Amino acid sequence: MSDRRISRMRLHVVDIPAKAVHSHGSGDVSGIASVLCELVTEDGLSGWGEASPWPVFTGTREAATAALHTHLRPLVIGQDPVCVEPIMTQADRQLVGHPEAKAALECALLDLTGQIAGLSIAELMGGRQRDHIPLSFSIANPDFDADLRDVAQLWDDGVRIFKLKTGFADHAFDLMRLERLRQLYGDEVRLRIDYNQGLKAYDAIRHVRDLEVFRPDFVEQPVRAFEREVMAEITRAVDVPIMADESVFDARDALRGAHGRIADIFSLKIAKSGGIRRCLDVAAIARAAGIGIYGGCMFETSIGHMAGAQLMAAVPELTLGCEFYMSTYYAEADLAMTPFPVRAGQVQVPATPGLGTAPDPGRLATYRVGILE
């Protein structure tokens, strides 16, 4: 228990345009549309979290905002912010689904708890296993020449991992891009592939087999989220590891996915699981089943990224790095007071108390399109 009480919840609705359109097997995205949850204590401490849903993937910002404003607000006003699990258990009881809203709430609570305790969120989660996490950048521009220019610049910055978004154009375009990147960067580049559910079940295996010659680290979510049996068939049929993203949201999905062996790797996302602690449940199931894990993200600001970085700093085994590149390389601006820490192709996890970042008030005001108190 602490002697602090939460007195306000402020919801900041933000729109940040992207530098370029990104295309995926499940649709195009042209910016970050999220809602930031700020919890304020009576004595003026602020804790931050972010909900950044993608309608074709998780849900809508409107639903996340309404969930926080109408249903989750009454659970935290007047509460002690260090009672994180009791509040989140209540949230799960009173509101079905809405994992993005719950993730934002939990992050803001953990940010306050960390500030009160003088510990980073990774330390609150059991301690830092690592200070930096290898960063992957996603190549998803329909204009591949523009992507090649970005890759060249990121290569100079020390980024060596690139994830190709595939399945939004034709198969030949995907093969051409992979071949080109292997030619240009040789064995030093690590390539990954993400279909975002873009393949048809009946010929997915043939498509995936065609890509294996380019030696990708993994192929992510080749078919639709609910086609778990097809995911399992593909996993059995090909040599390249298969990753489940849209098919595994929470611990129940993870358990089912591990039993059915639907993938070799799970992509962890706070927004899918409903918070950092729920994500650690998914990680624990993966570890018990010998399934690898990866730090995925939504189209989000540094606030969401930092929550992911704190999680990935604390997980016992980190197999494949993370993709927290949006605020540095995708968005027109980084909302945070200090830029999201990326150095030499690695996310540097801050050791400061709490989340380790907060929005800059000026930039927040520039990109804010609505506020609810």
Query: Looking at residue 349, what DSSP letter applies?
Result: P
Length of the chain: 373
Distance CA 248, CA 290 (A): 16
Please identify, among the stretches 42-50, 100-108, 210-218, 243-251, the one whose residues bind Mg ion according to the rule CB under 5 A.
243-251
Using alpha carbons, list the distances in angstroms from residue 357 to 63, 301, 304, 322, 354.
25, 11, 10, 18, 8
Cβ at position 234, least distance to Mg ion in Å: 15
Strand partners, 265: 243, 292
Q: Radius of gyration of the chain from Cα atoms?
A: 20
Q: Which of 245, 264, 300, 334 touches Mg ion by CB under 5 A?
A: 245
Which residue lies nearest Mg ion, judged by its C-beta? 245
Report the residue number, 142 or 371, with the smaller CB distance to Mg ion: 142
Cβ-contact 308, 269 below 8 angstroms: yes
Please identify, among the stretches 129-137, 237-245, 274-282, 364-372, the one whose residues bind Mg ion according to the rule CB under 5 A.
237-245
Residue 300 binds Mg ion, judged by CB under 5 A: no
Is 50 an active-site residue?
no
Report the residue number, 167 or 345, with the smaller CB distance to Mg ion: 167
Please identify, among the stretches 77-85, 101-109, 241-249, 328-336, the one whose residues bind Mg ion according to the rule CB under 5 A.
241-249
Burial class (CB in 10 A: 0-12, 13-18, 19+), 361: exposed
Site residues (CB under 5 A) for Mg ion, limited to 175-234:
194
Cβ at position 6, least distance to Mg ion in Å: 34
| Among 163, 165, 269, 272, the one annotated catalytic | 165
Cβ at position 296, least distance to Mg ion in Å: 6
Is 165 an active-site residue?
yes
Report the residue number, 48 or 218, with the smaller CB distance to Mg ion: 218
Report the residue number, 195 or 340, with the smaller CB distance to Mg ion: 195
Distance CA 221, CA 174 (A): 15
Please identify, among the stretches 12-20, 109-117, 156-164, 245-253, the one whose residues bind Mg ion according to the rule CB under 5 A.
245-253
Using alpha carbons, list the distances in angstroms from residue 342 to 139, 173, 346, 355.
18, 31, 5, 16
Site residues (CB under 5 A) for Mg ion, limited to 308-337:
none
Distance CA 328, CA 87 (A): 33
Cβ-contact 8, 76 below 8 angstroms: no
Report the residue number, 52 or 357, with the smaller CB distance to Mg ion: 52
Q: State the residues that interact with Mg ion by CB under 5 A.
A: 194, 245
Catalytic annotation, residues:
165, 323
